[in-house]
Structure 1
Amino acid sequence: MALSAKEKLFHKILTHYAESASGFTAQDCADFISVNRSVISHYLNRLCEDGRLVKENTRPVRFYVRHSGQDAPVRACIVSKTEDAFLNLIGAQGSLSEAVSLCRSAVDYPGDGLPVLLSGESGVGKSYLASLIYQYAVERRVIAADKPFVELNCADYANNPELLSATLFGYTRGAFTGADREKRGAFDDADGGFLFLDEVHRLSAENQEKLFLFMDKGYFYRLGDNRTRHPASLRFIFATTENIDTVLLNTFRRRIPVRVTLPNYLSRPLSERVAQILHFLRQEARSLQRDIHLDNQLMHQLVISPVRGNIGELKNQIKVMCASAWSDNREAEFITLYTPHSTGEVLVVSAHDRDRLPDISDLLPKAMRDDVIFRDFCHSGNVLLLNRKMEQWLTTIGGLVPAEALYSGYIWQNTMHALNELETQTGIQCSQEIRKAIWLCLSYALHMPQDTATLAELQSISDYVSGKARLLAEECVALLTRHVVNQPLPLLLPLLSCAFHTLAGEDDHIQGIIVSHGRSTASSIAAVANQLTGGYYFKAFDMPNATSTREIIDLLIAHLSHLTQGAGLVILVDMGSLKEIYEEIKRHLHGELLVINNVSTAMALDIASKIQDKLSMADIIDSAKGAYDVETRYYAGVMPGNKIIISCISGEGISHKLKDIVQRYLAQEDIDIMTMEYDDLKWKIAHSDPALNGTRLIITTTDLEAGYIPLLSVEQLIKEKTLILKRDYFSGLLTEGGLEPMIDEVVKLFTVEGVASRLSFLNPVVIIDEVDAVIKQYEAFYKIHFESYLRINLFMHIALMIERVMVNNGVRHREEAELTLQQQAFVAVHDTFFQALNRKYHITLPLTEVLMIYEIMEPWIATDASW
């Protein structure tokens, strides 16, 4: 009867590994049978279920042949996952994974293993790790279970090295005054097991010499006897809080090949700090036989506050808190730990069950979560606030970067080199705060996984940035990829676009491109022009010498999507068919087009200067003809229209209200505003009705696809940044400064509609006008115009807050909160702004309500003074 594949595999295993003490892996069996590794693993697991093999859950998994009558394989010891001494070590699979791997290697090394030196600050867990190494050695049966673990703290004998020598090696009768008999030492006690010497840096040079001589020879002499050798077999673990390069003899240090450094508490990842706190709380809950209710704010303080004694002190701190709470109320069903500024959110630690580790984001104040930090920044563009919060997140909350190393190191230097090159290429000077913001965002992106949903949201929020800012961000990301880290970092593009937005300024009415063959010809010409004019007027494309005109055209067409809609475009090329480039590009461009060949540095500088001076395309063309001895071609672009169409799916009423608002801010009297029924508009768009010819803009309450005609939904009008609205929809249509007040009126119109159903007795039209007056005072005070979506948020929040305070005195859970300087400044002025509302409605706003308004406004009003 033919053997099955599984049986054939087992026969091969018996031939090669029946007596193997080290076992084998699935990969070792790859040549035994012509199937892939996953199938081999499946067969091996079935053989384990049949009782013919046993496995050890290491990485990779190792298998052993089970012999008849044996419960264990030939190997000296099989350590299952549940028997692993390091299994419950917090961080064993995280920040301490490398340390654990080194400790395993030291124990498993043939013979008597390897000495281990543990270093780190006081209280980081060196003694605990030493005890786990001993347990692991017992589990592996490299030492017998009855062999000892002897611990000696060298600091106890620091002032008496002779006594330490006697304690370590023992002494003979008469070795010193009072030595009336021979006495064994720690080496004798630890024979066959482990000797753990803590604070080993307190060993004298003489005792260090005795130690390394024993490590070399395997025997020692007692104090007072230099002739009688005493052999011993023991394994060493040393620990120190000092720099081993300065406190230990070179000869001694060289004999300790395995060195493990343990991080301090704040350097551990946030998840491990939380797990450590929960571990100590569970211990106390079981000891006191009470569930523990922990205030979320207290948990936050414990995970982000530095602990001088590290984990050891943290354990004592938690023990004292629990003991005090239990002593204050011994009859309570549970122990409550809280802060004076409790948020009301509670984490329950059971005395009986192992609670699941809570979501880390739930333990942090909303404002300090990384996703919220980035979202607020993309909305507000406040670089200073971003830097402050990211510094805290990276060094404290996330625990990714030590504070002292935040702005230093190899990667930091390479990042600054990349930014220097960015300045050279673009002519844009990055301030120190911009440089810090780029570095902090890069540091985060290098350490944390990129969430697709968050990326999509940030990209959507950052759509308002100028095309120039986005191009700068792309240039910067390309340089960081080249000089710092060669891996995709999609998170950087929306963040850097917002960081560069204010720096780059609004898009120019004419944009420039230089395309040239050669490794850096175009970049060099563009860099000179950009630097000398002090602006980013030319984007460079360096093309390989073999690049065809067709490839250049494809590259330029792909780049057009980055340009401002309707802006003019000047393309400077070194060679290739100008006519072919011109004919292809004009089909994909909505604005004016000028293509000039035989590009030179002088030409690029001349045209960059004209763009900087805001000359029209016609003026640039006139000056270019004959100036460079080149051929030019000009494309006039799409002719402007003369009407705006407004259509609302809910009917003509809202359409007419919108028309009245827009009419008041038109810059040209010859532009007509028409209202059109929604279904009629859809039909005309679908059939390319000539009635739409000359339409400059369509405004609707529901999004539509209108082809080449710009179409703006009311939702876009309210939520979109004003810069993108000016750029893509209202260019040349409205009076100077008219867009923002027009949007404010639209916001009020639709806010009244929305808030009416949520107010019980206040008149929505009246209260919205009154809240509008308050918001304008804040804007005047902070010298800023709030974005539309923020205004809607404030309209809704303050209107409902007024009614809430009138009915039930409002929210008051933070009345005793300790205020920051920024909060104090905000609270100091709010009474003035709310004076009219307070007097009319006979109310006084509680501090908590005022702080809620501050938190809504904070990303927009935070200034350099807040740092």
Structure 2
Amino acid sequence: MALSAKEKLFQNILTHYADHTAGFTAQDCADFMQVNRSVISHYLNRLCDDGKLQKDNTRPVRFFVRQAEALSQPRSTLVSKNSDAFSQLIGAEGSLAEIVSLCRSAVDYPTHGLPVLLSGESGVGKSHLASLIWQYAVERGVISGDKPFIELNCADYANNPELLSATLFGYTRGAFTGADREKRGAFDEADGGFLFLDEVHRLSAENQEKLFLFMDKGYFYRLGDNRTRHPAALRFIFATTENIDTVLLNTFRRRIPVRVALPNYISRPLTERIAQVSHFLHAEAASLRRDIHLDTQLMHQLVMSPVRGNIGELKNQIKVMAASAWSDQRQSPFITLHTPRPSGEVLVIPAREKLAGLDTAALLPKAMRDDVILREFCHSGNILLLNRKMEQLLTTIHGILDQEALYSGYLWQNTMHAINELEGLTGIECGQELRKAIWLCLIQALHVEHNADEVNELLAVTEYVSCKARLLAETCVNLLVKHVADRPLPILLPLLSCALNKPAGDDDAIQGVIVSHGRSTASSIAGVANQLTGGYYFKAFDMPYSTSTREIIDLLIAHLAALKPGAGLIILVDMGSLKEIYEEIKLHLHGELLVINNVSTAMALDIAGKIQHQLPMEEIIESVKGAYEPETRYYAGILPGNKIIISCISGEGISRKLKDILSRYLAREEIDIVTMEYDDLKWKIARDDPALNGTRLIITTTDLEAGYIPLLSVEQLIKEKTQVLRRDYFTDLLMEDSLEPMVEEVVKLFTVEGVASRLNFLNPVIIIDEVESVIKQYEAFYKIHFESYLRINLFMHIALMIERVMVNTGMRHRDDAALTLEQQAFVAVNDTFFQALNRKYHLAVPLTEVLMIYEIMEPWIATEAV
């Protein structure tokens, strides 16, 4: 049903003024509706009668949208002003808002608009923004939809300015050798539309002059004809990666009034980087028709790491990662993307649903700002009311608010990590509603800039909060900046002081501080004490090892300003001059002071309990005298390592063979290799027998729990990566570069044992040596080293294949199969590797058998090497 004139007016008012506290006049509406002011006044008064608007008695009369009406409107109504081509640009209402505003102005400027120059590093999105400017112009009706957007990269013609001139302006017949007919140029093609010249700094001075002459006159000449004028009406967008002051002529530069510089990727706000990464991931998920399960560690890497090629390169990186994962996980119902050391936490990027479910908080516009809600909260500290009103505000923006989407995603997960760390550090329990309140305050701070005056105004109305709550809030803000944000968020301090005021409780008569050198020593001790006592009794300061006593004193003096006036202070330090600390601090403290060094967890826990029970300082001092003397006892330890034990469940025979192999590669003569019966070893381990003292390593054919002694099974020895084996088991035990040959001998040993039980007539020892020669030729040809378990597979398969072929039972069911190029190449070189075996055993290896060897090796060999 078509809207009435009154309803259309109201919808436009909601678009322009729903969140304006200053109101609007009839003339304001007449301007954007392009309707006579008296008609507008009539409709405005009727809307007041309907209860949708209210007005004051000023001159001119100002009208206001009733809040209930504004809140009842879905987001699609409220943001229709920005629902244009630029609304798809991430950051259009954030860091790029001024740029978008300039671009809109350039398009809307009367007659033919204004030329626009886009500058910025490669990959920041200049081409994308240029195409959006054209789309916006079509939407606004300043150009018709059939008018083109012509893009030309001047760098393609940098070494041939004449060719570029011909491409831009066209040429006449005979203008140059080969010009056998007249040809139109880019100016003709773009007539009525837009011409986008990328890398404009590669234009020669002569072509720059031709351009600005056209911008002045409105016509141009074709190459080879200086008489015939060719008029054209086109709009220009230029782009460059260079400093325009040094690469463009002044006369040309002066004719481009609108210049915008696009920021590089890493300087964009965190929320926009998250939205950008999310957008590209969602595009890949949709393209592959699979949900993507993204490890949060990889998300952090994509969001926080500088990208040389900016957004363009970021898009390519994500596409390559997705393509690689798709190749390996084609049969999986979803695609998993992760780093080599995944965190285990996963974000799900849906293939079909809209992206908003991934990180709603990263995609919110500036329209979510509401200072009234924040001021009311700072007055009341009511987190339930804050949560309800903030969710109501978000409903205003998004229409129907997806609660699950709001409280999920990368930002939400990182915020929960910060709150978990806050709980562990301070002993304060943060329930679900408090977590929501902290989260909603954070996304307000991330999306809306607040100046110093606004922050101070909120601080002024939070004087009722306790000093402990302010300290808690300060700690929480620091953790949120560490885990979530990449910039200071000063507005959070007053907001979180109010949110944490009730959980913090009243200020204690005595405050506690722990100062210790090390990355997290003080935090760990304070965290244990605070958690076990269930309160925030110790503030932790982790100091670098190079910090002097003087610097510690300055830190503590600065901290005194945050304490309740007149409160006592207990300072626990790990080292430093107690006298110097006491004398300096006492001058700035109006309460009692106790300083104790050699801080420990037990000491902090004991004193936290005394503060919790509100013991006076005198009683605490008396109770701690002599209470923390160290207790010393000596116990004989394990002898220095000088022994390796080998034990095999199948008997001494294999143990002795393993000992022979290992002894050839030992780096230290004083290391003894001892073989031991398996049951005997289990008995000694169970009883912690002294005979095991000095054991550096136990090697067995089966897994066994060996307590404090490192134990390596033969399966691990064969399958584990060499760097892990060297680091965890063989440090300082083997000669340099001897681990791989030792493992190869072990592989060969166990291959001989396995093959011997399956061969009918070939000598296993001889055939294994011969097969090893073939395998080494494969490795040399493909320039790789096969992992141990693959070597065992090849040893077994090729040895048994030779025996099959010798008795004419070789497999042939694929001898007539069509081969891929890779298979053809493998078959061609395979005969070379088998020459010696073919001569000795008179073999003719069937194609099917060759293909089976290829399939075993296929995942390991690079096809480009074939």
Query: How would you bin the TM-score normalised by the shorter chain?
Result: 0.3 to 0.5
Q: TM-score, normalised by structure 2?
A: 0.44
Q: TM-score, normalised by structure 1?
A: 0.44
